[in-house]
Structure 1
Amino acid sequence: MKFGLLPRIILAIVLGILIGLVSPSPLIRVFATFSGLFGNFLGFIIPLLIIGFIVPGIGAIGKGAGKLLGWTAAIAYISTIGAGLLAYITAKALYPSILANQSLKEFANPEEALLKPYFDIEMEPLMGIMSALLLSFVIGIGIAAVKSDLLLNLSNDFRDIIHLVIEKVIIPLLPVHIFGIFANMTNAGQVGSILSIFIKVFAMIIILHIAYLVIQYTIAGSVQKKNPFSMLKTMSPAYFTALGTQSSAATIPVTLRQAKHIVKKEKVADFTIPLLATIHLSGSTITLVSCSMAVMFMQGHSYAFTIMFPFILMLGITMVAAPGVPGGAVMAAIGLLESMLGFGPAMTALMIALYITQDSFGTACNVTGDGAITAIMDKISREDSVEDEKVAV
């Protein structure tokens, strides 16, 4: 039986807590050394990850069915931003009460309480996060503009290499990294409050996922003049399939089959569902915003609207064509967390652990929401067809 990433992460957290309670400091410093080296490598690979995923994502989006492509991408982006804003407003309102008993002083400077590695190896990234983003936009838009198949194929090959690094190196070692972080935090006496935050944030995120799906299908139902809850029921097999696969791409066959039951033009679903699987991440955005604000709350950092809104806007772009592996969205977002929100190694590790424990639910929200956007695009496509017929006459 395959032992998935989520069980491995949970096992790593449990073992990390147990080892942190009973092990001597020298042993914990061994794991702290590994976590430090792994974190440095992660920092090195992030700019390459951004280039590897965003360039072919933007380049491929530039090739397609014109107006239908533009509308689909625009609505998907608006939906993703809306999800982020909903998460921000909810977290801003609820965190002061549901996380009120957490001691901010306990988390004010976690790196000072944690044991230091035995040694450190600098792994300087080839460029900064913003440089990688700007370069990705320039090259991706350029590929779409000049319609260069050669450059697009090269960017796809580079993406496959980075995908391989994530799948074969980062994902397998990630539980060890999480284990080391939790062992270190347990040794420093921080883990009890962190676990209580996990439970509260997890419950809030699941409720937000469901609420946002209801909003999406209420809009789609009003456009299609159908019962939104009936549409949601039709799409439910995609939701539960995504819970198991933890991948929007792997769920495409089921999402496509169910989406064709809620639209009139099946060709629209054939076009939108594969596209939305890579550009529409409303559920993941809810999770990333909620988790990042929880970590910032723990650290006593400000999460004002002027800080979070630019992060949400960039998040909608950065996660385009995020890898179809568990935790892909949070990997693509690490650069933004560090450059825009000031996350350090301990905060990043907490963020990854928080995110991956519910990654399957975020993916399920993503793919189910794809059906709502497909229903809206079906209506727009049919109206355009009517207009074209009138012009032809």
Structure 2
Amino acid sequence: MRIKLPFIIIAILVGVYFFGNGVDASVVTFFYTISSLIKEALVLVLPIVIFIFMTAFLVEFNSGVILFVTGLIGCIIASNTLVTFYSYGMFSLLHPLVIDTTHHTLNLTATTVIKPMFGLPIKMIVDNNIALLSGLAMGLLLTFFQNQRMILGFKKARETSVRILRKTLTPIIPLFIFGFMLKLQKEDLLEQMIVVYSKVFIVILITMILYITAMYTLLAKGNIVKAFKTMQAFFPAAITAFSTMSSMAAYPVTLECAQKISKNFRLTQGILTSTVNIHLMGVGIAIPIMAMTVMMYFGHPFPSLWTYSVFAFFLIFAKFTVAAIPGGSVVIAIPILHDHLGFTPEMSALMMSLYVLVDPFSTTTNVLGNGAFSLMMTKLFSPLVKPKS
């Protein structure tokens, strides 16, 4: 039986926490160099992946249903925007309870400084933001002009990219994290962070529960009993999502759950199919809250609304490019965190470690949120898209 990634990450954290200080600095430097090389390789590859995924997503639709598609995408963007700024508002209220920025900033002076032995000679060729916008433009062009050869090519490229990422990225995530965690422990920073992030984990769970409850209550027009009954109908999908850390793996179960309560299942099915991997409410809560905590821990101030808005803009559109693998959301988010929130490689590795641990809860929130969203959108679009007899 394959060991699930969160358990591997927990084992790494526990092992490094108890035994990391006893590891020789040269060994730490070796593993940190490997982690740095993996990070640099990701930076080189991700713009290509982002471009392919954004284009492939848009060509799923044809120009004949452009009005429905435009409306649906607009609603997805609005929903992802709402949850992303909800996270900012919640954390702006709660962060004083989570982290004492003065205390932790003073402890950032490392007793031992670990640096990589060398890096890749090739640097990023294309900026991630340009890749994202280029994919958006290419996808829209192909949607209108319907070049079938190119459309098929981008779909195959996406399938190939996902397959490669599954086979290469997922196995090396533990190694990537291991080197950075060894560095942080050798620099006497890991213990402080564990204390801080246990509190953040609780804040994230509370934020998720409140948001999902509000969604189902809105769907039930304020009827709390009906809201919990509707939410309960999606529990089998939620359990599947939690255990697999994959919205796609939970997708068949989500469809079965929706079929029992939807009054226009064909439309609900189409909406769920279109949004299963891009309408990510758990991601919109977990990544921003973790990112802001990591920033503040490493001495950055709480981000201004403008700084956060720029970051949120690119994060919201990056959700359309997420790969269907465990931790895929945070992998796509790393370049955005680097470009717009000033993340260093150490901060990025910490984000990946933390996100993989919370990923089961994030995916569960994605599935429950998408269940409510699909039913809301079914009510909204049913007058326009009626089921065939």
Structure 1 residue 21: deviation in Å? 1.6
SS in 1 for 2:382: helix
- Contact kept, 8 Å, 2:129 with 2:314, in 1: the verdict is no
**Deviations 1:153-190 (CA, angstroms, capped at 9, x unpaired):** 21122222322332122221110111111111111100
Distance 1:259 1:221 in 2: 15
Does the residue aligned with 2:272 lie in a helix, a strand or coil? helix
Counterparts of 2:38 and 2:147, CA distance in 1? 36
Counterpart CA distance in 2 for 1:148 and 1:271 is 23
Deviations 1:191-249 (A, max 9, x none): 11111122111111111111111121122222999821111111111111100111111
How far apart, in 2, do the equivalents of 1:228 and 1:125 lie?
48
Write the distance in 2 (CA, Å) between the matches of 1:62 and 1:14.
50
Cα distance between partner residues in 2 of 1:343 and 1:184: 16
* Residue of structure 2 in register with 1:264 after alignment: 263
Matches within 5 A, 1:183-332: 183-222=182-221, 227-302=226-301, 303-332=303-332
Any idea what the Cα deviations from partners look like across 1:51-97, whole Å, max 9, x if unmatched? Answer: 12211112224567444433332222211111111111111111123
Helix, strand or coil at the partner of 2:59: helix
Q: 2:148 corresponds to which residue?
A: 149
1:177, 1:16 → 2: CA distance?
A: 13
- The two structures, once aligned, show a CA RMSD in angstroms of 2.2
How many pairs does the alignment contain? 384
Change (3 A) 1:114 1:216: farther
1:375 is matched with: 375
Does 230-239 or 116-125 show the bigger shift? 116-125
Distance verdict in 2 for CA 1:382–1:34, change over 3 Å: closer
8 Å CA contact 1:243–1:360 kept in 2: the answer is: yes
Q: Relative to structure 1, is the Cα distance of residues 317 and 291 closer, same or farther in structure 2, using a 3 angstrom cutoff?
A: same
Q: What is the distance in 2 between the residues matched to 1:14 and 1:142?
A: 50
Who is 1:362 aligned against?
362
**Cα distance in 2, alignment partners of residues 269 and 182 from structure 1:** 44
Taking the aligned partners of 2:64 and 2:326, their CA distance within structure 1 comes to 28
Q: Secondary structure at 1:123's aligned position in 2? A: coil
Inter-partner Cα distance in structure 2 for 1:14 and 1:62: 50
> Which residue of 2 is the match for residue 390 of structure 1?
none
Question: Residue 193 of structure 1 aligns to which amino acid in structure 2?
Answer: Q
Alpha-carbon distance between aligned partners in 2 of 1:113 and 1:46, rounded to the nearest angstrom:
32
| 3-state SS in 1 of match to 2:320 | coil
CA distance in 1, matches of 2:174, 2:146: 41
Q: Evaluate the alpha carbon distance shift between residue 365 and residue 37 of structure 1 in structure 2; reply closer, same or farther with a 3 A threshold.
A: same
Contact 2:52 2:157 in 1 (8 A): yes
Distance 1:333 1:106, change over 3 A: same
Q: Which residue of 1 aligns with 2:165?
A: 166
Q: What secondary structure, in the 3-state scheme, does the structure 2 residue paired with 1:270 have?
A: helix
Gap change, CA 1:64 and 1:25, over 3 Å in 2: farther
In 2, the alpha carbon distance for the partners of 1:175 and 1:52 equals: 26
Structure 1 stretches of at least 4 aligned residues deviating more than 6 Å after TM superposition? 223-226
Q: CA deviation at 1:327?
A: 0.5
What does 1:331-342 align with in structure 2 at a 5 Å threshold? 331-342=331-342
For the Cα contact (< 8 Å) 1:279–1:319, is it kept in 2?
A: yes
Which amino acid counterpart does residue 179 of structure 1 have in structure 2? Answer: F
Q: How far is 1:257 from its partner?
A: 0.8
Q: TM-score, normalised by structure 2?
A: 0.93
Alignment-derived partner of residue 391 in structure 1? none
Q: Distance in 1 between matches of 2:163 and 2:276?
A: 20
Within 1, Cα distance between the matches of 2:241 and 2:100? 34
Mapped to 1, the partners of 2:381 and 2:149 lie a distance apart of 32
Q: Deviations over 1:101-160 (max 9, x none)?
A: 7411333x77x9541122322332231122212221221111112122222221122222
Name the TM-score, length of structure 1 as normaliser: 0.92
Q: Judge conservation of contact 2:267–2:382 (CA < 8 Å) in 1.
A: no
Code of the residue aligned with 1:29 in structure 2: it is T
Per-residue CA deviations over 1:225-281 (Å, capped at 9, x if unaligned) read: 982111111111111110011111111111111112222111112211111102201
Distance 1:70 1:337, change over 3 A: same
Task: Identify which range, 69-78 or 167-176, moves more after superposition.
Answer: 69-78
Gaps of 5+ in 1: 387-393
How far is 1:352 from its partner?
0.8
Contact 2:321 2:332 in 1 (8 A): no
C-alpha separation in 2, matches of 1:224 and 1:74: 27
Change in CA separation of 1:192 and 1:61 when aligned onto 2, cut-off 3 Å? farther
Give % identity: 25
